[in-house]
Structures are given as structure tokens and as C-alpha cells.
Amino acid sequence: MYPWERVNPSQDSTLRLIHESAKRGHEVSITHPSNLTIRDSVTLSLCKNIKQGQKTPSSIKGFYNTVAFETEMRPLRDFDVIFMRDNPPMDGLVLNFLDSIKDDVFIINAVDGLREANNKIYTAAYYDPDRELIPATYVSKNLEYLLRIIQDSPKDKMIMKPLDGFGGRGVIVIEKAAMQNIRSLLDFYINREKGVSNYVILQEYIEGAEEGDVRILMLNGEPIGALRRRPAKGDARSNISAGGSVEKYKLTKSDKILCEKIGEKLVRDGIYYAGLDLINGKLIEVNVMSPGTITDINKLNKVKLQEKIIDYLERVTVERNRLKGDFRPEDLVDHAEA
């Protein structure tokens, strides 16, 4: 995960997963990509282990403020589950470390799934010729090509964002009326790092986007919770980290159909836990690294989604131990409604 010191205990989703695991008496460790190492052909990481025997406060904030750790270098294959909760962009070398233990440990999300889906190309490349699920999306680092896409678009507005952004960072609305500024913007996005050119995403502007989006949390191909996010006044981004607000949301029939179609692909690709972002019934992004909103969905619906997630991981562990190499996570689908 990201550094423990950066956790906001009143909002953080990862903290709720850790608290629920500790509360049940599971042995819990946290570590960071920079702590990975290999010694004598064994993949290890310098871990902060939650000390055994200490009382786990019912208050998550109290837990965060009082939990005691001890540091230890641990072989990763000794764990039952590794939950990937680091923020994007992903360091691809992390996946190379995890390749060595992926047959021994249940990794959520799976190494191959993260390799394929850790950036926005995963959504952009989803085959949807009739554009029933995904809005028209273009990915390139060719400035002239992107300018032509904007000029040829039948709509006056498009969404532009960096390929590796998260939390709404860098997402802007562009308009044909401001074409004289768009070349400069594209140049900035593509060449924001000296000596490196970066990919840019252009996406069809969906009517109603100014009203915000819907976040749906998916667990093993099924929706387990959802909310609507409204952007702050004067901002195109609905992300809570960007100042957006949240409202209770109940999935529509078309939402459930989309979840079913996308959910099948997610599980097939080893993406067992993800956040879907929808605008007006269209899938905008699939978040597979560290999707948040657990806390807000819990508050809005008086639930504890972390319980469902840890229940699932416990069942996976039991089945893996029982079936060894024949286990398939998709056999554990919960037919729960958000």
C-alpha cells in the first residue's frame, strides 16, 4: 500500500480492510513496493507486522492511532493473501517480483490482471463497436493526430486526461471554441516530463457529465456497493479527493446489465476487486489499483463493505487450501445487489 503515515483514518478504504482483518484475529502485515527484495531466489519484503495479542479497538480512528507494529523481513509466499492497494502509476517491476509467488499466494488483483489493467488503456480498448457501454475514446501521444480527433469530433466538447492519472488529477473539459489553446495544452500533457513523451486520452463528452458520475465497487464480478459523486462548483471532476460530494445511489436495470458484462471480463482477467466509474450509463474508467469509496458507501447505506471483502478472502483461502491448484475464484461469485 501507500505509506501508513499518509492514511486519512476518517476516510481511507485500505485502513478499513486492515482493521477488519485484525479484528478477526488474522495476522496482518503492510509493506510498500520499495521494500521488495530477492535473496537466495526467495522473494521477500520488509514488512510492518501488526503485533499479535494487542486489543483491536472498535473505532477505526482509535485503531489507527494506537496500533503497534514490529518490522520483519518476510517471504511473500508465506502469506495466504496479498492485497494490492498502492496508488497509480504502478511500477512494472513490482509485478516481476510478484510473478515468482503468484502460484503460491492469492493476489488481489492478480498479477496478470494488474499488468493488463493498471492504466486507462484497459477501459479504452474494451471491444464495444456499437458504443453501448464505452464512450468513443482515443489514446495517443501524437499531437497532430489528437488535434485532428478534436477537430473532427461531432461534439463541441471532449474530456482530456493523462493516461496514468488517478483521483481526478489532470482531467479537464476542452471545447472547440478554445482551439487556439488546445495545441498548447496537448503539448503540455504529452511533454510534461523532460525527455519523455506521455500518452493522452481523449474521450467523448457525455451529456450529464456536469452532474457527476457513479462509482460502483465490484467484488469477484458482482456489484457490492455504489454511490453518486457530484463535482464541486466550478469543477469538472467528481472525485471525492478533488472536492466532490457523495449521494446515495441505487443501481438501475441498465447499470446491472453493464456490471454483468464488465464483471465477467474482470474475473476472467484476474480483476477480483475494482471500482467502475459510470456517467449516464457509460463506463468511463475501471480502477484496479486502490479504488476507494468504501467509507462513504458504508455511511450512506449503513453497511460495512469491508466485511464482505474479508469474507470473500477467507472463502478463497479455504477453497485454495482444499483444492490446491484446481481452485478458480470465479466459482465463488456472490449474487449480491448493491
279 alpha-carbon distance from chain centroid: 17
Residue 8 falls inside a structural domain: yes
Average of per-residue pLDDT across 196-207:
90
pLDDT, the chain, mean? 90
**pLDDT tops 50 at residue 338:** no
**What pLDDT is recorded for position 236?**
52
> Do 221 and 264 contact (CB within 8 A), yes or no?
yes
pLDDT, tens digit, 9 for 90 and up, residues 129-179: 888 899 999 999 999 999 999 999 988 999 998 887 776 778 889 998 888
pLDDT, tens digit, 9 for 90 and up, residues 62-84: 999 999 999 999 999 999 999 99
**What pLDDT is recorded for position 124?**
84
**Same domain for 197 and 217?**
no
**What pLDDT is recorded for position 211?**
87
Residue 55 falls inside a structural domain: yes
**Same domain for 215 and 328?**
yes
Residue 276 falls inside a structural domain: yes
Domain-ending residue, one of 42, 69, 94? 94
**What pLDDT is recorded for position 303?**
98
**What pLDDT is recorded for position 336?**
44
pLDDT, tens digit, 9 for 90 and up, residues 249-307: 999 999 999 999 999 999 999 999 999 999 999 999 999 999 999 999 999 999 999 99
Distance CA(53)–CA(30), nearest Å, equals 17
Domain extent at residue 177: 136-204
Distance CA(283)–CA(131), nearest Å, equals 10
**Same domain for 257 and 165?**
no
**Same domain for 191 and 228?**
no
**pLDDT tops 70 at residue 210:** yes
Place of cell 499488468: 115
How many domains does one find in the chain? 3
With residue 66 as reference, give the H or E element that holds it.
helix 60-66
Which residues have CB under 8 Å from 50's CB, separation 6+? 18, 22, 27, 28, 29, 67, 68, 69
**What pLDDT is recorded for position 44?**
98
More confident residue, 331 or 290: 290
Residue 300 falls inside a structural domain: yes
Identify the CA nearest to 272 among candidates 198, 328, 196, 229.
Answer: 328
**pLDDT bracket for residue 335 (50, 70, 90):** very low
CATH of the domain at 314: 3.30.470.20
**pLDDT bracket for residue 120 (50, 70, 90):** confident
Residue 131 falls inside a structural domain: no
Strands 222-230, 200-204: pairing is: unpaired
Residue 104 falls inside a structural domain: no
**Same domain for 229 and 320?**
yes
Percent of the chain at pLDDT above 70?
92
**Same domain for 290 and 218?**
yes
**pLDDT bracket for residue 329 (50, 70, 90):** confident
Residue 103 falls inside a structural domain: no
